Amino acid sequence: MKQFTSVKDIDNVGDLVREALQIKQNPYAYESLGKRRTLGLVFMNPSLRTRLSTQKAAQNLGMNVMTVNADKDSWALEFQDGAVMNTTTVEHIRDAAPVLGNYCDIIGVRCFPGLLSKEVDTSEHIMHQFIKWTKKPYISLESATLHPLQSLADAVTMVEHSRVKRPKVVLTWAPHIKSIPHAVANSFAEWAVAQEVEFVITHPEGYELDPQFTQGATIEYNQQKALEGADFVYVKNWSSFADYGKLLCHDQNWMLTLRHMEATNQARVMHCLPVRRNVELSDEILDSPHSLVQAQAENRVFAAQAVLKRMLENL
């Protein structure tokens, strides 16, 4: 595997999920595979789970990890080709990224969207520059539009907890007070479409996700109807894509509560964390046996380890 940025980088989702589950059974089975190998992690935004789970995955494989908190530990980066750098940015990605590629065998980068320009964010300009100039296997630690390590962990979690062969999976929009990226929702959608599930997305009108990621999913604006018979409910806020980055709906009825669960097939509830409690999702759900959020977080380690293992085998 040369890059892990989207479900499109994977031949067979089922195989990768099974590989992650095998690693979970025996996390140290490949602990010499990463000997003398270095994973470079670049964070342009905050991270708890991704930071620690990817670090742990690398350590389980015997790799060294070097972390750069960009803009804090090092220099403000410029991404524009041909820029005359006479303002605030200090180093161009064309110079910084090859250095990282030089020092590291695999590179992971977190680069959130600005949510100011749909065109800029959708182009994944920053991610593509890192891929182009590091010239090393690349793992997305969440880009402007996708979060594949989260989606792989979510797929692993659903396989572990599914009671039926073809579960009904509902991705439901939830309220939030801030303008939030689409990456987790887009990513969950493109992975769900690639799996053997019945997949429904529900959200207020105006919150349609970028269709390139949701093609094949059913859109149902009525949340209650969408939830009927659901086996898994994935809760997530995102800002509008059409009216880019804007907040259009503040209706607290979209927050998932136990009342919403009645129509479901005793569904398990998922969220990528961090979650705004009692805004996106109620305490009563998060602290109930419905919740799978910790199982998802735990599986982040094995998702990252499966991806790193494949990359290491390919070096």
- Residues at the site binding its own copies, with contacts judged by CB under 8 A: 28, 31, 36, 38, 40, 43, 46-49, 51-53, 55-56, 59, 64, 66, 68-69, 72-75, 78, 82-87, 90-92, 94-96, 98-100, 102-103, 177, 273-279, 283, 286-287, 293-294, 297-298, 301
- CB-based contacts of 164: which residues, under 8 Å, 6+ apart? 231
- Name the minimum Å distance from CB 165 to its own copies: 29
- Name the minimum Å distance from CB 40 to its own copies: 7
Pick between residue 25 and residue 87 the one whose CB is nearest to its own copies.
87
Taking the CA of residue 306 as centre, how many other CA atoms within 13 Å lie in the half-sphere pointing to its CB? Answer: 26
Pick between residue 59 and residue 162 the one whose CB is nearest to its own copies.
59
- Name the minimum Å distance from CB 88 to its own copies: 10
Angle at 235 between CA 191 and CA 109, to 5 degrees: 55
Pick between residue 47 and residue 265 the one whose CB is nearest to its own copies.
47
Pick between residue 200 and residue 292 the one whose CB is nearest to its own copies.
292
Longest dimension (CA), the chain: 60
- Name the minimum Å distance from CB 96 to its own copies: 6
Pick between residue 253 and residue 278 the one whose CB is nearest to its own copies.
278
Pick between residue 92 and residue 182 the one whose CB is nearest to its own copies.
92
- Name the minimum Å distance from CB 97 to its own copies: 10
- Name the minimum Å distance from CB 247 to its own copies: 13
Pick between residue 77 and residue 201 the one whose CB is nearest to its own copies.
77
Pick between residue 80 and residue 218 the one whose CB is nearest to its own copies.
80
118/77 Cα distance (integer angstroms):
21
- Name the minimum Å distance from CB 313 to its own copies: 20
- Name the minimum Å distance from CB 269 to its own copies: 13
